[in-house]
Amino acid sequence: MEAVYFVQPTRENVIMFLSDMAGKSPLYKKAYVFFSSPISRDLVGQIKRDPTVLPRISALREMNLEYFAVDSQAFVTDSERALEELFGDEENTQKGDACLNVMATRISTVFASLREFPSVRYRAAKSLDMDTMTTFRGLIPTKLAAGIWNCLEKYKSSIPNFPQTETCELLILDRSVDQIAPVIHEWTYDAMCHDLLNMEGNKYVHEMPSKTGGPPDKKEVLLEDHDPVWLELRHAHIADASERLHEKMTGFISKNKAAQIHHGGRDGELSTRDLQKMVQALPQYSEQIDKLSLHVEIAGKINKIIREMELREVGQLEQDLVFGDADTKDFINFLRTKPDLSNEIKLRLLMIYAAINPDKFEFDKGLKLMQLARLSEDDMNAVISMKFLVGSSGTKKNSAGAFTLKFDLHKKKHAVRKDRTNGEETWQLSRFYPMIEELIEQLSKGELPKNEYPCMNEPSPTFHGTSHVASVQSAPASGAHSMRSRRTPTWARPRNSDDGYAR
């Protein structure tokens, strides 16, 4: 039997491989070995030194695939302990550096596989004054950028046909740039699915009526790019997605002969011609109706959860806090009048409030608020620990653990986001946007401040010279734009059924 090995190039994995293939009785006749990232010369030499193993290796290659593709435009490196190792309550530079080295290698393999050579930009550490010392947390983007750049420099000389000049831009940020985005309720169809439904990754369990009349049959489906309905609606506001699904279903039934018959749209006996058309339409009808039915079920579940958990009121307070339309008095009143909110919702509200008003959580100031919300001790620690995410702002000596965020405290409205709707009508609760959206727009227009976001490498003239400027100027004036839908705010109008589709 022959075997394929796809492993990380670690000493432990090489030792295990050699134990499988060495000696007179190897585990496999032939081995095809693929490493997920570049292997060191030392480990290659260890493999070559075993005379019984070398003839049994049919392939030995570096694949540069240490990442997981979430969809066609996103990937993760599966660094599950990165938050703890980089932003923990006790700084451990040795553990943090090791974590960053792994992350740098994994991120670099993305560019190796795509054959792209980026201009590497990163959020610079900030020193506020002479009494401020830059912490390890403040240097995380700088260290990660340096690690990625070192890997890319090696790729230029070791990977065939790897670009020698910049082909794209990489912007490296850390969580301190936006603490609110991970905890606020996002109202796109995609975000609602992952937030409110018990999904494992992109896997959703779809319940279908049993053909035998018993309990419903359960079918696992993947909400991914191969699903055209998901691809079209995932970035739409949940209300927009619901309405479009309703339109799709009614339109499909009105145009499709088999669907009309299936839904009892015609009375009387069927003609031979009707039966023929129905049979011809059935395979395509079945596939399309299954896709639409799946998403109608999902959207219906989401709308029901929104009502049961009073998420519209919660979402309104969240966004009012972010845009400065609600103050501490409003926040306290909401907690007092909504004692039955789930612990998760109260925790998320407190985390948003702490990110906006960090001064109110210095020392024991926030204790009464957290007691009012009846948070558990673990949840209280989670709120208090948010101060560790403000690493890029620096830590003043002898500050006794105090932390601050640079918000404009002189404004009457204590807002941490600018209202970007420009007076346009939008879907209710769609004002919020993550900070990365604004940063990417600035980057695409060439307006990202270089003193705050320096470049690790000095870009070549062909990238930032005439050709690049011309391409930016010739682009549409709107620049980068959000995929999320912004339309007339009619989603709050009442519906007559629990699925949210009846008019």
pLDDT, one tens digit per residue, over 298-356 is: 999 999 999 999 999 999 999 999 999 999 999 999 999 998 999 999 999 999 999 99
- Do 193 and 211 fall within a single domain? yes
Has residue 338 been placed in a domain?
yes
Q: What is the pTM of this model?
A: 0.79
Has residue 430 been placed in a domain?
no
75 and 89 Cβ atoms separated by less than 8 Å: no
Does 382 have pLDDT greater than 70?
A: yes
CA neighbor of 187 nearest in space, from 306, 345, 356: 306
- Do 39 and 90 fall within a single domain? no
Residue 190's pLDDT is 95
Residue 404 pLDDT grade (very low, low, confident, very high; cuts 50, 70, 90): very low
CA neighbor of 238 nearest in space, from 293, 196, 179, 289: 196
CATH number at residue 237: 3.90.830.10
Distance in angstroms (rounded) separating the CA atoms of residues 350 and 369: 8
CATH number at residue 80: 3.40.50.1910
Residue 129's pLDDT is 52
- Do 208 and 248 fall within a single domain? yes
- Do 272 and 356 fall within a single domain? no
Does 44 have pLDDT greater than 80?
A: yes
Does 398 have pLDDT greater than 60?
A: no
Residue 462's pLDDT is 57
Q: Two tokens at 183?
A: 């905890």
Has residue 408 been placed in a domain?
no
Reduce the DSSP state of residue 117 to 3 states and report it: coil
- Do 204 and 282 fall within a single domain? yes
Q: Two tokens at 54?
A: 């070398």
- Do 323 and 223 fall within a single domain? no
Distance in angstroms (rounded) separating the CA atoms of residues 181 and 434: 6
Q: Between 272 and 51, whose confidence is greater?
A: 51
Reduce the DSSP state of residue 355 to 3 states and report it: helix
Distance in angstroms (rounded) separating the CA atoms of residues 6 and 25: 22
Q: Between 165 and 283, whose confidence is greater?
A: 165
- Residues 6+ away with beta carbon under 8 Å from 242: 299, 303, 491, 500, 501
Total tally of structural domains belonging to the chain:
4
Distance in angstroms (rounded) separating the CA atoms of residues 98 and 86: 10
- Do 172 and 193 fall within a single domain? no
Does 468 have pLDDT greater than 60?
A: no
Q: 163-203 pLDDT, tens per residue?
A: 999 999 999 999 989 999 999 999 999 999 999 998 988 99
Instruction: Give strand ranges (E) for 10-53.
Output: 30-35
Final residue of a domain: which of 116, 148, 177?
177
CATH number at residue 56: 3.40.50.2060
CA neighbor of 479 nearest in space, from 439, 434, 433, 427: 439
Mean pLDDT of 232-239: 94
Has residue 421 been placed in a domain?
no
Final residue of a domain: which of 18, 42, 62?
62
Distance in angstroms (rounded) separating the CA atoms of residues 205 and 216: 11
Mean pLDDT of 240-256: 85
Distance in angstroms (rounded) separating the CA atoms of residues 444 and 449: 12
Does 111 have pLDDT greater than 60?
A: yes
CA neighbor of 358 nearest in space, from 136, 212, 209, 179: 179
Distance in angstroms (rounded) separating the CA atoms of residues 437 and 443: 10
Final residue of a domain: which of 136, 152, 177?
177
- Do 315 and 305 fall within a single domain? no
Residue 457's pLDDT is 79
Has residue 348 been placed in a domain?
yes
Residue 72 pLDDT grade (very low, low, confident, very high; cuts 50, 70, 90): confident
- Do 194 and 283 fall within a single domain? yes
Among 68-77, 279-288, 291-300, 489-498, the range scoring the smallest mean pLDDT is 489-498
- Do 291 and 197 fall within a single domain? yes
- Do 305 and 315 fall within a single domain? no
Has residue 184 been placed in a domain?
no
Does 399 have pLDDT greater than 60?
A: no
Reduce the DSSP state of residue 438 to 3 states and report it: helix
Residue 410 pLDDT grade (very low, low, confident, very high; cuts 50, 70, 90): very low
Helices 140-158, 93-114: crossing angle, 10 deg rounding: 40
Has residue 87 been placed in a domain?
yes
- Residues 6+ away with beta carbon under 8 Å from 427: 187, 237, 239, 240, 485, 486, 487, 488, 489, 491
Percent of the chain's residues with pLDDT above 90: 52
Helix H or strand E segment including 219:
strand 217-222
Q: 413-467 pLDDT, tens per residue?
A: 678 888 877 666 677 788 899 999 999 999 999 999 999 999 987 766 655 543 3
Has residue 103 been placed in a domain?
yes
Among 93-97, 121-125, 360-364, the range scoring the smallest mean pLDDT is 360-364
CA neighbor of 353 nearest in space, from 369, 336, 333: 369
- Do 129 and 226 fall within a single domain? no
- Domain range holding 252? 189-309
